[in-house]
């Protein structure tokens, strides 16, 4: 009986022990349980805590997407960063200008024959009905050659001479070829013939025909024409025929604004007339199909985010812009960290006059107005026309050189508290040299704080670069960055009508900086050994 009881008791005890063992084996320790902490390495513990932070993981996923978008997207994109796209548009180009003479114009061999002072005196003499006038010690007289109303012609003489030195008229004589200058004597004979209603012109022993339109013909060849309308092409390689000018003048006199001209070869062109009351002239605009940059094209299957003001694909520019912004952010932060770790480590370890010297240097860098200095240097590089690629290198070096002071103070403060601990005493007792004690034993213990600081600094550096590029002082064309992409909307019309230019770049910039901050917060919480304990 006693044996049976003892056996039952042993079975119950063994079952209870097995149950407790199973319970202990099956129970899952929390991350904050000391027994669980002892089984994890410090790195694994940080990773576990970081992955438990859903907000930080979200930031990490956003960063992963932005890296793939920027670095892989630029490779798979069918377009280049600086590739230009074109389209054909019908544009009204200024082709010619037409001016109607409403005031007297002067024709002479040389301008000195009848200077401006004499012209002013002549106008006064006309108003006073005086047949003679004096200018600069010379006495002049005039005669009315043609009294046709609206087409009066006055011959101007030096008093006592019968040879007219100039003509005052509302008409002008132009060459039909557009290349030759008509001699003054020939112009005078043509104007005399027009004013007197003749149909022939005698000049240099040769007789020319003058038709009712004022055209001078040498047989069937047009030589010159007289008209109160001055028709001038706006480009030297454009030749306007007499027929074109006549039809153009008829259109102006009829008050029409549209002008269609068919050339001798059958080519038809459409023109638009635009009157300028200030200059009292007409601009002749020709509608032509012109190859232009495909600027501000709306999103399509060819360009998913449209094109910018230079006719470049916006999606490709965003990819390369992200690459440049991330490049600059990381390189600047590494420069800051390198300088800050070296100077902060030396300052914190040696102390004394070395610490005082380095900390005073840090204070000086804190007092430097970095933004005005960067603006001045950016303007200087603009004036010197520094290559855009070299400019980016200068920008990274400048931002890194101005931003290391905060990291140096952080490293110094951490090392001041670490250098008195037992492991450093043991390292010093073993005879390890000072540089090895700093960079192999002290600095690794500061890395968690450095990682958090670097992550936070990345976001602020990208914002600084974007600000400088937006102001035109950072990354320059043809290189793209999110900042100089947003700079394209410095026009209110672009801001309100072309959302696809600035919203995607702004979203990318916001998402990247926010993601860096979220990851930095997550790392700070993960490295904190007192978190939730």
| CA 259 – CA 250 distance, rounded (Å) | 10
Per the CB < 8 A criterion, the answer to whether 379 and 473 are in contact is: yes
Contact 250, 234 (CB under 8 A): no
Q: What is the mean pLDDT of residues 433-462?
A: 79
Portion of the chain with pLDDT greater than 70, in percent: 88
**pLDDT score recorded for residue 25:** 45
Q: What is the mean pLDDT of residues 490-502?
A: 82
Q: Residues of CATH 1.10.3720.10 domain(s) within the chain?
A: 47-85+303-527
* Cα–Cα nearest to 269, from 280, 258, 282: 258
Of residues 181 and 24, more confidently modeled: 181
For the chain, the maximum distance between any two Cα atoms, rounded to a whole number of angstroms, is 170
Taking the alpha carbons of 57, 63, 69, 74 in that order, is the dihedral positive or negative? negative
- pLDDT confidence bin for 26, thresholds 50/70/90: very low
> In this structure, what token pair is assigned to residue 123?
């106008």
Q: Using the predicted structure, report yes or no on whether residue 61 has a pLDDT greater than 50.
A: yes
How many beta carbons lie within 10 A of that of residue 24, not counting itself? 9
Mean pLDDT taken over the chain = 80
Q: Which neighbouring-strand residues pair with 268?
A: 262
For 180-194, 316-330, 336-350, which range has the lowest pLDDT when averaged over its residues?
Answer: 180-194
Confidence category of residue 319, pLDDT binned at 50, 70, 90: very high
Render pLDDT for 406-416 as a digit per residue (tens, 0 to 9).
Answer: 888 888 888 88
Q: Which of 125-129, 183-187, 335-339 has the highest mean pLDDT?
A: 335-339
What does the pLDDT look like over 381-424, one tens digit per residue?
888 888 888 888 888 888 888 888 888 888 888 888 777 777 76
Predicted local distance difference test score (pLDDT) of residue 318: 92
Whole-angstrom Cα distance, residue 450 to residue 454?
A: 6
pTM score, whole prediction:
0.61
d(CA 10, CA 212): 141
Among 273, 231, 276, which Cα is nearest to 256's? Answer: 273
The set of long-range contacts for 366-373, using a CB threshold of 8 Å and a minimum separation of 24, is: 366/405, 368/402, 370/402, 370/403, 373/402
The DSSP result for 441-492, as a single string, is IIGGGTHHHHHHHHHHHHHHHHHHHHHHHHTTSSS-TTS--HHHHHGGG-SH
DSSP 8-state class, residue 266: S
> Look-up: residue for tokens 């959302």?
499
Could you please report the per-residue DSSP string of 66-116? Answer: HHIIIIIHHHH-SS-TT---EEEEEEEEEEEEEEE--S-EEEESSGGGS-H
- Region 47-85+303-527: CATH code: 1.10.3720.10
Confidence of residue 40 (pLDDT cuts 50, 70, 90): low
Q: What percent of the chain has pLDDT over 90?
A: 8
Report which of 192, 94, 78, 100 is spatially closest to residue 146, judged by C-alpha positions.
Answer: 192
Query: pLDDT at position 7, please?
Result: 54
Q: What is the pLDDT of residue 13?
A: 46
Stretch 83-100: mean pLDDT: 82
């Amino acid at each position: 009986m006693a044996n049976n009881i003892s056996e039952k008791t042993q079975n119950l005890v063994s079952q209870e022990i097995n149950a407790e063992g199973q319970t202990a084996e099956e129970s899952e320790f929390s991350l904050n349980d000391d027994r669980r902490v002892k089984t994890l390495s410090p790195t694994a513990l940080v990773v576990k805590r970081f992955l438990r932070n859903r907000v930080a993981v979200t930031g990490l996923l956003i960063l992963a997407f932005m890296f793939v978008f920027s670095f892989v997207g630029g490779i798979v994109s069918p377009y280049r960063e600086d590739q230009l796209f074109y389209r054909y548009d019908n544009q009204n180009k200024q082709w010619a200008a037409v001016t109607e003479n409403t005031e007297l114009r002067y024709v002479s061999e040389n301008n000195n024959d009848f200077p401006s002072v004499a012209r002013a005196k002549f106008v006064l003499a006309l108003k006073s009905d005086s047949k003679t006038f004096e200018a600069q010690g010379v006495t002049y007289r005039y005669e009315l050659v043609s009294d046709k109303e609206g087409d009066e012609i006055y011959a101007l003489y030096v008093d006592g001479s019968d040879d007219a030195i100039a003509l005052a008229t509302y008409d002008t004589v132009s060459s039909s070829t557009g290349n030759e200058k008509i001699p003054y004597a020939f112009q005078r004979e043509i104007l005399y013939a027009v004013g007197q209603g003749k149909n022939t012109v005698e000049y240099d022993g040769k007789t020319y025909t003058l038709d009712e339109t004022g055209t001078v013909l040498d047989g069937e060849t047009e030589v010159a024409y007289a008209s109160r309308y001055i028709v001038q092409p706006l480009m030297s390689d454009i030749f306007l025929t007499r027929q074109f000018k006549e039809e153009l003048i008829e259109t102006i006199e009829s008050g029409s604004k549209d002008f269609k001209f068919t050339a001798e070869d059958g080519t038809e062109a459409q023109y638009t007339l635009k009157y300028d009351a200030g200059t009292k002239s007409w601009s002749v605009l020709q509608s032509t199909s012109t190859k232009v940059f495909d600027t501000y094209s709306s999103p399509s299957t060819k360009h998913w985010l449209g094109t910018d003001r230079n006719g470049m694909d916006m999606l490709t520019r965003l990819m390369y812009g992200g690459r440049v912004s991330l490049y600059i952010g990381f390189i600047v932060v590494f420069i800051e960290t390198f300088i800050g770790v070296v100077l902060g480590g030396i300052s914190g370890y040696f102390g004394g006059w070395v610490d005082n010297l380095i900390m005073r240097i840090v204070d000086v860098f804190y007092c430097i107005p970095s933004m005005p200095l960067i603006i001045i240097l950016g303007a200087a590089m603009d004036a010197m026309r520094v290559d855009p690629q070299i400019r980016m290198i200068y920008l990274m070096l400048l931002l890194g050189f101005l931003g290391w002071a905060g990291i140096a103070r952080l490293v110094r403060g951490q090392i001041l508290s670490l250098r008195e601990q037992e492991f450093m005493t043991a390292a010093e007792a073993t005879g390890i040299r000072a540089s090895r004690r700093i960079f192999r034993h002290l600095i690794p213990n500061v890395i968690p704080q450095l990682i958090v600081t670097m992550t936070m600094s990345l976001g602020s550096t990208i914002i600084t670069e974007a600000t400088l590029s937006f102001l035109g002082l950072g990354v320059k064309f043809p290189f793209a960055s999110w900042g100089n992409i947003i700079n394209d909307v410095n026009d209110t019309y672009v801001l309100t009508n072309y959302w696809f230019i600035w919203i995607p770049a702004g979203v990318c910039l916001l998402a990247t900086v926010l993601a860096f901050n979220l990851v930095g917060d997550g790392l700070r919480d993960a490295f904190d050994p007192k978190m939730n304990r």
